[in-house]
Structures are given as structure tokens and as C-alpha cells.
Amino acid sequence: MAFLDEFELLLRARYPLLYVATLEEERIETAIAQCAQKQGNRGVYTWDFVDGYQGNPNDAGFAQRNPLQALELVEKLPSSAPAIFILRDFHRFLDDIAIARKLRNLARLMKSQPKNIVIVSPQIQIPSDLGEIMTILEFPLPTTDEIREELSRLLSALGGPPPDSVFEDLVRSCQGLSIERIRRIIARAIASHGKLTSEDLELVLEEKRQTIRQTQILDFYASREQITDIGGLDNLKEWLIRRGGAFSEKARQYGLPYPRGLLLVGIQGTGKSLTAKAIAHHWHLPLLRLDVGRLFAGLVGESESRTRQMIQLSEALAPCVLWIDEIDKAFSGVEGRGDSGTANRVFGTFITWLAEKSSPVFVVATANNVQSLPAEILRRGRFDEIFFVGLPSQDERCAIFSVHLSRLRPHNLQAYDINRLAYETPDFSGAEIEQILIEAMHIAFSQERDFTTEDILEAASQIVPLARTAKEQIQFLQDWAASGRARLASRKGTLGDRL
């Protein structure tokens, strides 16, 4: 049910005390005024601690710096006069015994009168003794239609909107921002160069970064990695490219649901994290990184609250990519943790959201040790697909060497025997290949010359790959993938040259 419909229903049902948690005071007050007008032009009285009541000339300034007196106005108005009382930031006074008692008295009185009190607050903070008489309402961020309407209104005063493609990209990018932030973006773009262009999409991302910085749960990643930066993993890349337009309005009209996410399981250093970054860049979506350890806090109930906040923030910034690195370390052994069930509750909230979410939040989770993952997270329905990312085959090592050397020595790429390098580095992961190139550069730099194929092979001979130091663990992962429990990320040699 839309907010306005639910709010209007509660007014008609004479719910006395409503609590709306939002930072968008201006927008919620406009919505309440629309409801009041629709219901026979109800009177609307708005109060804050500094200025008292505003809007009505007869009560202007009444109850300045006096929250108890603000509640007394409800009784002073005729009992038959329909009215809505908007109290800004009133959550700060709810712990006062006089305020709490007065609210309970008024709740009893207003059941028989067409009056409602609406507390507007940036956060939910209700004492237990008032919980029974308060009704909490969710005031969502602007919908796509509201954003489109607001942008059209703003841009019509500036000579009309930009081309349709730019306009729709802007509408999609603005999802998750408040109307006030959207207005700031438009004002900044106009002040900068007098019009709105595709380059101004970066301003939208900057506003989203500001929102993320105000929390200590998620990090905003500026992703520059591209799909072409990933060597090999052809099956995975094809799967991602096929879904590149799945977040568009055209896909909604076609009837496609939003993609849910991916679980990337495999050996360390094989490109799982790089893939998460490349997905965000390729799909032109903001990348949020969740450090699951930040969800767990010392106070009772705070971990669950942070989990809900993470979910709300991710959905508010949608469409986006939510990257959860090494999820196996976060939720390993949840059953046996001695934390009074906190980890279980956090995990339960998280996987329920994964299964039921309908918002355009694409979750990319990576895991190195599939043995420690709870079985629930591997069940179909949590993710669209589970991919196994194994050691690169010889062909894939050629691609990985080409990617790195094209970046390091684009003018001299032909000087390196890439086929020989790939042949001489069996069992090396992508991360280890990058390290041997860095080591080769150190060798050559110390001798004041450019590095060569021989330097790379010498560096490779000095590094023992993880495939040998953790042979049993990697063998288990390869056997697990070979049993058909995950889709292979590569077409050829996915499980390594020596499986």
C-alpha cells in the first residue's frame, strides 16, 4: 500500500498517534497537507521547538520551547474540528514523564474526535510505555515516477529536459536520493555549465557517496575495473553481459524481474573481487561494499538494528551492486557462536532479505571456503546463480598476462613471450601472476633496465603458489565444483591444468 493511501486510511480510522521516521520534512508535510485537503480540508498545525506553531496566524509562535504546551493545543480546539498536528523532532521529549502521560491522555481523548498527532522524526525512538499507542509509518524515498515528475518540473523552468536517454539515466541514477538532494544536484549542474548532460551523472554518484559516508556500515567504491580486465571466466562474463540491461525500464515493461545476485565460490586470488567491481562498472551502478564484521556490535539488539539499517540503506540507494567479500568468514559456525544467538539472528535477517527482496539490489558475495558456509545460503532462491572460480587454465593465464602487460607495457607488448609465460606457470592464480610481474619489475628496476620474459620466469620460480601450499583445501573445492554443485565460471580447464 502506498504511503498516502495508508496514511489516509489511518486518519479515517482515527488512529490518534502516528510516528513517521524520515529526514524529508518538507516532502512529508506536503504529503500530509494533500491528505488533509482530500479529507474535507482538515486543519494542519505544525510545531517545532524553536518557532512553536506555524502556518496558522491565530496560533503563530504558540508553545515556543514548550513541548507540553504544544500538546495542550489539541484540547483547546473544538472537539468537532478536524485537525492534524505535526510535531517535528518530538522524539526528543518522549522520555519526559509529563509528555508521556499527556500523550496517553490525548490518545484516549482523540479516539472520539477527528484529530491526529503526527510525530515527524529522523529516527525511530519510542519509549516502551508509549509503544502500544503509537503507530509507526514508513515514508519511502521518492519513487521513479516522483523523481521523473520533479526533474521534469525543475528542468522545464530551464528550457526543457535533456535527450530522453540522458533523462532516463538520470532518473534511474537518482533513485535512493531525497527530493532535496536531487534539487541540489540540478542546481549544481546548472550553476556549473548552464544545462544538464550525461556528465552530470557523476554528481548523482557523489551525492550517494555523501549518504554512504554518514554511515559506518557500508563503503562506497568508485569502480573503474572493466569486464575486459578479467582474464578468462568466459561463462561468467557471458552471463553478466546478457543481464546488462536488466535494470532498465524496458526490461520492466518486458516483464523481467530484477536480477537478485551471484555467489562466487573458489580459490583465493582468482578474480572474484575483481568481478564484483567490474559488474558495477559495466552496468553503470554504484558499488557498495559491506564489511559484515561492522554489523556486529557490543550492545544487545544493536547488531540486528545495524543489519536492518544496512538493508534499508542498500534499498534506498538502489539500483546498486552490494559486494560482500569473504562471506564465509562472517557467517562460519553461526550455530556454535557464544553470543546469545546474535549471529544467528543477523544471519536469519540477512538470508530472509536475500530470498524475499524485490528491490534492484544486486548482491555479489564471494567465498573462499565453501565448507564453512551455512547450507541455507547455498539454497536456490538466495542468488540467481552460484559460480565456481577455479585456477586459470593455460589459455586463461595467457589472457591474464596479456591484460597486465597491456597495462604495464602497452608500447612493448610484443617483446614478451606470453605463451611461454602461461606454460611455465601452472597452478598460479591471477593474483599470483600479478605478483610475479611486480617482482620481475623490481628485479629489472634494481639493474636500471626494463623487465623481460626471463625476469618474469625468474620471479615465478621464487614464488610457491597457493595451489601447492594449500593443496588439500583446493582439492576439496575442485571436487566440490566437479560434483555439479556450482556452475563453472570458465569454459575450458576451469579446475586447473592438473586436476
pLDDT tens figures, 63-102:
999 999 999 999 999 999 999 999 999 999 999 999 999 9
What mean pLDDT comes out for the span 365-390?
87
- pLDDT, residue 442, reads 96
CA angle 124, 213, 125 (to 5 degrees): 10
- pLDDT, residue 117, reads 97
Residue 410 cell numbers, joined: 602497452
CA distance 189 to 193: 6
Whether the CB-CB separation of 94 and 127 falls below 8 Å is answered with: yes
What mean pLDDT comes out for the span 354-382?
87
What mean pLDDT comes out for the span 129-151?
89
Whether the CB-CB separation of 279 and 362 falls below 8 Å is answered with: yes
Please check the confidence at residue 303 and state whether its pLDDT lies above 80.
no
- pLDDT, residue 498, reads 42
Largest CA distance in the chain: 93
Least confident of 76-80, 110-114, 164-168, 350-354: 164-168
- pLDDT, residue 301, reads 56
Alpha carbon of residue 345 to chain centroid: 20
Residue-wise pLDDT for 1-47, tens only, equals 588 999 999 999 999 999 998 889 999 999 999 999 998 889 999 99
- pLDDT, residue 339, reads 52
- pLDDT, residue 60, reads 84
Collapsing DSSP to helix, strand or coil, 18 comes out as strand
Please check the confidence at residue 230 and state whether its pLDDT lies above 50.
yes
Least confident of 29-38, 76-85, 214-223, 391-400: 214-223
Alpha carbon of residue 106 to chain centroid: 40
Query: Is 250 exposed, middle or buried (CB count within 10 Å of its CB: 0-12, 13-18, 19+)?
Result: exposed
What mean pLDDT comes out for the span 226-241?
89
CA distance 385 to 261: 7
What mean pLDDT comes out for the span 192-206?
77
Whole-structure pTM over 0.75, yes or no? no
Whether the CB-CB separation of 18 and 119 falls below 8 Å is answered with: yes
pLDDT band for position 499 (cuts 50, 70, 90): very low
pLDDT band for position 118 (cuts 50, 70, 90): very high
CA distance 137 to 238: 43
Burial 131-145 (b: 16+ CB within 10 A, else e): eebbeebeeebbeee
Please check the confidence at residue 441 and state whether its pLDDT lies above 90.
yes
Please check the confidence at residue 298 and state whether its pLDDT lies above 70.
no
- pLDDT, residue 497, reads 52
- pLDDT, residue 155, reads 82
What number of residues does the chain have?
499
* Ramachandran bin of 261, using left for φ above 0, alpha for ψ from -120 to 50, beta for the remaining angles: left
Whether the CB-CB separation of 66 and 98 falls below 8 Å is answered with: no
CA dihedral 250, 251, 253, 258 (to 10 degrees): -140
Domains and CATH numbers, the chain: 3-138 (3.40.50.300), 144-214 (no CATH), 221-389 (3.40.50.300), 394-426+430-464 (1.10.8)
Smallest CA-to-CA distance from 449 within 497, 403, 409 is with 409
Residue-wise pLDDT for 443-495, tens only, equals 999 999 999 999 999 999 998 898 888 888 888 888 888 888 889 998 754 44
Burial 436-475 (b: 16+ CB within 10 A, else e): bbebbbebbeeeeeebeeebbbebbeeeebbbeeeeebbe
What mean pLDDT comes out for the span 105-120?
95
Whether the CB-CB separation of 198 and 359 falls below 8 Å is answered with: no
Residue-wise pLDDT for 240-293, tens only, equals 999 888 888 788 889 999 999 999 998 888 889 899 999 998 888 888 998 887
